[in-house]
């Protein structure tokens, strides 16, 4: 039996603009050994997320930048294959901030055990994980939706946007999604119950399309994308509108700061609120969020899709696909099946 | 005795860019007569305010636009010279939203009687009126200052900004003002107790000057001006910073929407909050604000200056001066002294 290696993906160059395959490198390292209190985890699914692009820049942000020639870290669902910790045993499925690698060693207190009987384990990276919580707290805590209000969501078919729209429907709002394909928009309206959806790539006049879709104006704009789309929405804000600022994916790969019409005059005349946030701002309320989202999923009130690419070697491709809008729902990479016997070096 | 006329200033053209004297016209009208329940008020002081510029455009805003060929309305302190209302008598001093005219008739329930023994009556248009309340609610309700935090105020020597800085000092903050002359900045630091002040007209690098004055970053930015100055402050925001958006005076006279670097990425990575507001959003808490401000003024913790131009005919000049930064503190026009006998038509 050949000795099994730990494949890892390192960041080797800081991307200029849109990242390319050359910014990353796949390397083989020995499979690490856990010390006392730690576990060895085999990656089953790993998450690629838009926020990771920001960490590839050498710039102060809400999370520190990735270091060059180190493994890209991010959300992983994995299986414990060797345990030196009392609270985890082989075969346990866990969620952790581990990274783009086939095996990870970490303290057992750095991961959270997940129950595969409640929902598919992949949901811990999606609707019952960071993206679902991001939607939940951004919409409910910053957006404060009230029945009868109009909510616009950009990046509406993504892992966060699709949950935002469904929660807004549960709260009795009119929900208008903005996404980049008719397939996505059919999904939003026909499967998720959005009231309307706008294809920003084919609509000749997005402001007019929005005005038609929002006859009573916009009370909440959940912003995942930024740029021209946001300018159009902001021109339609109602008095005391709220803008949870979740992402700006249209700007992440620009080489210079983007220039646009100043938004302060519009926020001023509407007494509107705009607030940036990151899900970890709500860390002390995660249990509440997971509990509520789990209930909505169980009741069929929150549906979800996952876009799963097979094979660790396709991780970078999956990541790059986020910026061309290829995914509906949560984008994941499947690395291994649970229960596989691990090849051990002799 | 010649018949006394009611001089009025009308808006006769919508300004393009910076307003000029030609956009206004002074006319003589008969002095109006109060009906039952109403009073005739002689204007003693009238207020000119930056927000009035917005109302001169034909555009939806938080207050409806001024109508062409009608009197410019705004804050007035006046004296009741004829009363047909039970609750006001001749000689009473009142505050009302009356306008750029020497005499006004209004229902007695449309004005508020002010007590000249508590403070000079002019303060009802300044620190104990709309500008003071604007500072009070914008800073305390949106800004939520905590001791030890750093507060930056633009338009710092104006009617609102000068109060913002003093309240922030009362709350134990480090306060940095931005204003347009050394005279103003001396006033801020030496009379009002600001910790530092930056002259944006002479500072070669405002971002560097701000970074030097705010070694711990910026927790609250009370924005009265917008534009490049705001860009510089926003680049220095701390995590969970707050931006009460009060005015954008640097943009009011631009003929096209201003273009600048998009601010959403910076708000996003700092989890910052920006909120537009108008003082009337807090109408149900005015009594609280006036009571607290009155106490701070009485205790000497809030000082104020008024810049009073004499003569109704100088009203437009006083208004235009707001945009060239001529005033320290509240800009007022003195129209008449109280207690003058009114010339009555025979």
Per-residue model confidence as pLDDT tens digits over A245-287: 999 999 888 888 899 999 999 999 999 999 999 999 999 999 9
Cβ <8 Å between A260 and B262: yes
Contacts of A77 (CB under 8 A, 6+ apart): A43, A44, A45, A46, A93, A94, A95, A114, A121, A122, A124, A125
Q: Which residues of A touch B (CB under 8 A)?
A: 54, 60-62, 223, 226-227, 230, 239-240, 245-248, 251, 257-265, 267-278, 281
- As a whole number, mean pLDDT of residues A36-51 equals 96
- As a whole number, mean pLDDT of residues A124-132 equals 97
Answer yes or no: is pLDDT of B284 > 90.
yes
Cβ <8 Å between A264 and B248: yes
Task: Pick the range with the lowest mean pLDDT from A18-22, A120-124, A326-330.
Answer: A326-330
Q: State how far the Cα of B159 lies from the Cα of B180, in Å rounded to an integer.
A: 14
**Percentage of chain B exceeding pLDDT 90:** 90
Q: State how far the Cα of A29 lies from the Cα of A105, in Å rounded to an integer.
A: 13
What DSSP designation does A22 have?
A: G
Cβ <8 Å between A54 and B278: no
Higher pLDDT, B38 or A59: B38
Answer yes or no: is pLDDT of B207 > 50.
yes
Chain B residue with CA closest to A228: the answer is B262
Of B248, B270, B276, the CB nearest to A272: B276
For strand B5-11 and strand B70-71, is the pairing parallel, antiparallel, or unpaired? antiparallel
**Percentage of chain A exceeding pLDDT 90:** 89
Contacts of A183 (CB under 8 A, 6+ apart): A328
Are A331 and A307 contacting, i.e. CB atoms less than 8 angstroms apart?
A: yes
Task: Pick the range with the lowest mean pLDDT from A118-132, A330-344, B278-292, B306-320.
Answer: A330-344
Answer yes or no: is pLDDT of B1 > 50.
no
Per-residue pLDDT of A60-104, as tens digits, reads: 766 789 999 999 999 999 999 999 999 999 999 999 999 999 999
> For residue A121, how far is the Cα from the chain centroid?
16
Answer yes or no: is pLDDT of A346 > 50.
no
Are A332 and A45 contacting, i.e. CB atoms less than 8 angstroms apart?
A: yes
pLDDT of residue A2: 52
In CATH terms, are A5-125+306-334 and A130-298 the same topology? no
pLDDT of residue B27: 97
What DSSP designation does A18 have?
A: S
pLDDT of residue B327: 86
pLDDT of residue B110: 96
pLDDT of residue B341: 63
Q: Mapping DSSP to helix (H, G, I), strand (E, B) and coil, where does residue B214 land?
A: coil
Per-residue pLDDT of B216-241, as tens digits, reads: 999 999 999 999 999 999 999 999 99
Per-residue pLDDT of A202-253, as tens digits, reads: 999 999 999 999 999 999 999 999 999 999 999 999 999 999 999 999 988 8
pLDDT of residue B279: 95
Domain A5-125+306-334 has CATH 3.90.180.10: yes
Answer yes or no: is pLDDT of A112 > 80.
yes
- As a whole number, mean pLDDT of residues B296-312 equals 96
Per-residue pLDDT of B185-198, as tens digits, reads: 999 999 999 999 99
Higher pLDDT, A345 or A140: A140
Chain B residue with CA closest to A256: the answer is B261
Of B60, B270, B278, the CB nearest to A276: B270
pLDDT of residue B62: 65
**Percentage of chain A exceeding pLDDT 70:** 97
Are B225 and B250 contacting, i.e. CB atoms less than 8 angstroms apart?
A: yes
CATH fourth-level superfamily of B5-126+306-334: Medium-chain alcohol dehydrogenases, catalytic domain (3.90.180.10)
Q: State how far the Cα of B307 lies from the Cα of B310, in Å rounded to an integer.
A: 10
pLDDT of residue A62: 65
A78 to chain B, closest Cα gap in Å: 29
Per-residue pLDDT of B13-43, as tens digits, reads: 999 999 999 999 999 999 999 999 999 999 9
As assigned by CATH, the class of the B130-298 domain is alpha beta
Q: Where are the domains of chain A?
A: 5-125+306-334, 130-298
- Identify the H or E element spanning A9: strand A5-11
Per-residue pLDDT of B93-150, as tens digits, reads: 999 999 999 999 999 999 999 999 989 999 999 999 999 999 999 999 999 999 999 9
Answer yes or no: is pLDDT of A345 > 70.
no
Are B151 and B219 contacting, i.e. CB atoms less than 8 angstroms apart?
A: yes
Answer yes or no: is pLDDT of B175 > 60.
yes
Answer yes or no: is pLDDT of B346 > 60.
no
Are A155 and A180 contacting, i.e. CB atoms less than 8 angstroms apart?
A: no
Per-residue pLDDT of B314-336, as tens digits, reads: 999 999 999 998 889 999 999 99
pLDDT of residue A342: 59
pLDDT of residue A252: 86
Per-residue pLDDT of B41-51, as tens digits, reads: 999 999 999 99
Answer yes or no: is pLDDT of A190 > 90.
yes
- As a whole number, mean pLDDT of residues A122-149 equals 98
């Amino acid at each position: 039996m050949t000795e099994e290696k730990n494949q890892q993906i390192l960041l080797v160059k800081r991307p200029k603009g849109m990242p390319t395959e050359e910014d990353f490198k796949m390397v083989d390292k020995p499979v690490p050994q856990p010390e006392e209190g730690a576990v060895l985890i085999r990656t089953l699914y790993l998450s690629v997320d838009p926020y990771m692009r920001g960490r590839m820049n050498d710039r102060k942000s809400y999370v520190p930048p990735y270091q060059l020639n180190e493994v890209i870290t991010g959300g992983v669902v994995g299986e414990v294959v060797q345990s030196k910790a009392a609270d985890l045993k082989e075969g346990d499925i866990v969620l952790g901030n581990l990274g783009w690698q086939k095996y990870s060693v970490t303290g057992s207190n750095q991961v959270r055990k997940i129950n595969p009987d409640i929902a598919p384990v992949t949901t811990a990276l999606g609707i019952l994980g960071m993206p679902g919580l991001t939607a939940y707290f951004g919409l409910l805590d910053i957006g404060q939706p009230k029945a009868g209000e109009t909510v616009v969501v950009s990046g509406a078919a993504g892992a966060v946007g699709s949950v935002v729209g469904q929660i807004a429907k549960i709260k009795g709002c009119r929900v208008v999604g903005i996404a980049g394909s008719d397939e996505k928009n059919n999904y939003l309206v026909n499967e998720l119950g959005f009231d309307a959806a706008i294809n920003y790539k084919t609509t000749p006049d997005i402001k007019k399309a929005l005005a038609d879709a929002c006859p009573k104006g916009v009370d909440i704009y959940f912003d995942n994308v930024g740029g021209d789309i946001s300018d159009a929405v902001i021109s339609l804000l109602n008095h005391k509108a709220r803008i949870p600022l979740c992402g700006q994916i249209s700007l992440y790969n620009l080489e210079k700061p983007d220039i646009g019409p100043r938004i302060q005059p519009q926020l001023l005349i509407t007494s509107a609120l705009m607030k940036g946030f990151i899900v970890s701002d709500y860390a002390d309320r995660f249990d509440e969020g997971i509990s509520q989202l789990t209930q909505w999923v169980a009741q069929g009130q929150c549906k979800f899709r996952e876009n799963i690419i097979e094979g660790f070697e396709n991780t970078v491709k999956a990541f790059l696909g986020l910026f061309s809008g290829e995914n509906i729902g949560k984008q994941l990479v499947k690395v291994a099946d649970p229960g596989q016997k691990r090849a051990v070096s002799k």
